[in-house]
Structure 1
Amino acid sequence: MNQRKPLKELNLLDKFLFDEAMDDPENVKTMLDIILSQNTNLKHPPQTEKEQRTSTDNRQIRLDVYAIDEDDVIYEAEAQKENTHNLPKRSRLYQGIIDSKLLPPGVIDFNLLNEVLIVLIMPFDLFGYGLYRYTFHMRCEEVPELKLDDGATRIFLNTRGKHPELVSLELIELLKYMEHSTDEVSEVCKSERIQEMHRRICQIKASEKTEVKYMQTWEERILLKQEGGKEMLEKLIKKKLEKNLSVEQIAEMLEIDILKVENIIKEIHNEK
């Protein structure tokens, strides 16, 4: 039996709540400030579910949170609940596609490339060393202390780390709060920034508009699974197309294969 998890019980690692929360620049700033131990001043409001593609022949990606600060540093953050066993290479693809969009045609000075930080937040230890944080830069194999200063950083965060002495207490509190976004966890946090974030998250969970959006998203998936018919699928895809959603967004929202979505869209166009 399909049961919808109440909106009030969602955590920040749940995709729906993460996307809704990161529409708020203050939540993005708080998250980045704590993770990176810095003061992040965003240049523009963050974008959630930002699409990126190098060409129509290549795979499109959808970035959970895309932000740029006043120093033109680009941040991309993802909440990843499941270990898909492809996250290192997935982060490599994200890095490459983001980089490919940064220089306008004709620019020959590669030093103008922005710094890019990709952050993945997970409730599991991807590398098995028991750390809260794994930070990767390019380094020379022959001279390990020689860093390739290419401006690219990839950070993998594990909410269940076991070495608190290697990171700040506030980061540990943030990671615990992202996995369990509750009053109980917030109350024991010493960080005022996390407590303030929790107040904003509570407002999202109490929003009638957000509740309706969440329910609609859930109902569409359940109807599709229960009826499974082509007619129902066509109706749902038509609605998504009317909202100018991409093929990949539709496939992810309806939890079906991209190729199947593309074929149905072709049939819809042929019917006109």
Structure 2
Amino acid sequence: MAQNTEERALRAWEELSISDNFIFQRVMQNKNLCKRLIERILHIKIRELDYPHTEKSIDLRLDSKSVRLDVYVEDESGTIYNIEMQTTKGHGDELVKRTRYYQGMIDMDLLGKGVYYDQLRQTYIIFICTFDPFGMDERIYTFRNACLEIPHLLLGDGAAKIFLNAKGLKGVVDADIENFLHYVDGREAAGVFTETLAKEVERVKHQDETRREYMTLYMEYQKHHQEGVKEGLQRGRREGRREGRREGLIAMARSLLALNVPLDVIEKSSGMTREEILTLQTPAAKHDRR
């Protein structure tokens, strides 16, 4: 079993691409590539990027949910960029609510370090999606808080959420971003930036240490998954036995009711309450027992 799991882990490793967040996170540790990606998405220039954490984890209290951010970087002016690779949309509005949660956690983390609310920094939460998150076929969806009555009046709270759509066909974007989105979508790398990105993916995948880390994580996940499935099956069997016994008692109670057995006798025989037994009676039977 262990050998089969290891073989599956190795096959999974060989099939990894830029759209896998394990690979994406490590590729984005290349400061030049990360910097250029942000610059092309936002049409800005960045002098310097800083990585406060290789993988940013925010856990505000022991009793709160924590969040782990794939790529968390700051530029020379203190602007924060959180970049996440997203391959699943989730249920309902789960994806967009996650950006709200990330924003709140980042702000609370800053406030917890002594920053006053009026000093909260500009933040960009960027989701790179392998699917169209809004179904409008745009390559990029950018959201900032604006006034409904005066659309050009921005709130100016320093928060922006951006979704890149690898399936998008609409909207004019930088050539590097267009090629990057095609690459995320599984096409061949094209253009200097994306080709450099593809070479970095291959370099990362040829690192023995990174491969061992991934395979260890993969096998650990499989172990927990199998344990969870086993526990779920056992729970299902227990619940199934209980449900089967319950159904048997209900069937017995119905039979006794049909034979006009006194309710107190049925209560003792089935272990059911009088109210539960009465719900099993037909309207005619209820009338006869009055």
Question: Contact between 1:23 and 1:47, CA under 8 Å: does it hold in 2?
Answer: no
Describe the shift of the 1:149–1:166 C-alpha distance in structure 2 as closer, same or farther (beyond 3 A). Answer: same
Instruction: Supply the distance in 2 between the matched residues of 1:219 and 1:48 (Cα, whole angstroms).
Output: 23
Residue 39 (structure 2) aligns with: 33
Give the number of the structure whose residues are more often helix, by fraction: 2
Look at both structures and tell me which one has the larger radius of gyration over its CA atoms: 2
* 1:187-236 per-position Cα deviation (integer Å, ceiling 9, x unaligned): xx12x122222222211111122221122122222334446679xxxxxx
Q: Could you say what secondary structure the match of 1:217 adopts? A: helix
* CA-CA distance at 1:150 after TM superposition: 1.0
* CA-CA distance at 1:29 after TM superposition: 1.4
Question: Contact between 1:23 and 1:46, CA under 8 Å: does it hold in 2?
Answer: no
Instruction: Supply the distance in 1 between the matched residues of 2:60 and 2:223 (Cα, whole angstroms).
Output: 34
Instruction: Supply the distance in 2 between the matched residues of 1:154 and 1:227 (Cα, whole angstroms).
Output: 37
Instruction: Supply the distance in 2 between the matched residues of 1:81 and 1:107 (Cα, whole angstroms).
Output: 34
1:96 is matched with which residue: 76, 79, 104? 104
Q: Could you say what secondary structure the match of 1:99 adopts? A: helix
Question: Contact between 2:84 and 2:126, CA under 8 Å: does it hold in 1?
Answer: yes
Q: Could you say what secondary structure the match of 1:136 adopts? A: strand
Question: Contact between 1:24 and 1:46, CA under 8 Å: does it hold in 2?
Answer: no
Residue 128 (structure 2) aligns with: 121
Superposition RMSD in Å: 2.4
Instruction: Supply the distance in 1 between the matched residues of 2:28 and 2:52 (Cα, whole angstroms).
Output: 7
Gaps of 5+ in 1: 231-272
Question: Contact between 1:28 and 1:46, CA under 8 Å: does it hold in 2?
Answer: no
1:65 is matched with which residue: 35, 52, 71? 71
Instruction: Supply the distance in 2 between the matched residues of 1:121 and 1:105 (Cα, whole angstroms).
Output: 29
Gaps of 5+ in 2: 232-290
* CA-CA distance at 1:104 after TM superposition: 6.0
Question: Contact between 2:17 and 2:201, CA under 8 Å: does it hold in 1?
Answer: no
Instruction: Supply the distance in 2 between the matched residues of 1:159 and 1:70 (Cα, whole angstroms).
Output: 29
Residue 200 (structure 1) aligns with: 200
Residue 219 (structure 1) aligns with: 219
Q: State the AA in 2 paired with 1:58.
A: S
Q: State the AA in 1 paired with 2:183.
A: Y
Instruction: Supply the distance in 2 between the matched residues of 1:36 and 1:105 (Cα, whole angstroms).
Output: 28
Residue 248 (structure 2) aligns with: none
Does residue 153 of structure 2 align to residue 146 of structure 1?
A: yes
Instruction: Supply the distance in 1 between the matched residues of 2:53 and 2:113 (Cα, whole angstroms).
Output: 24
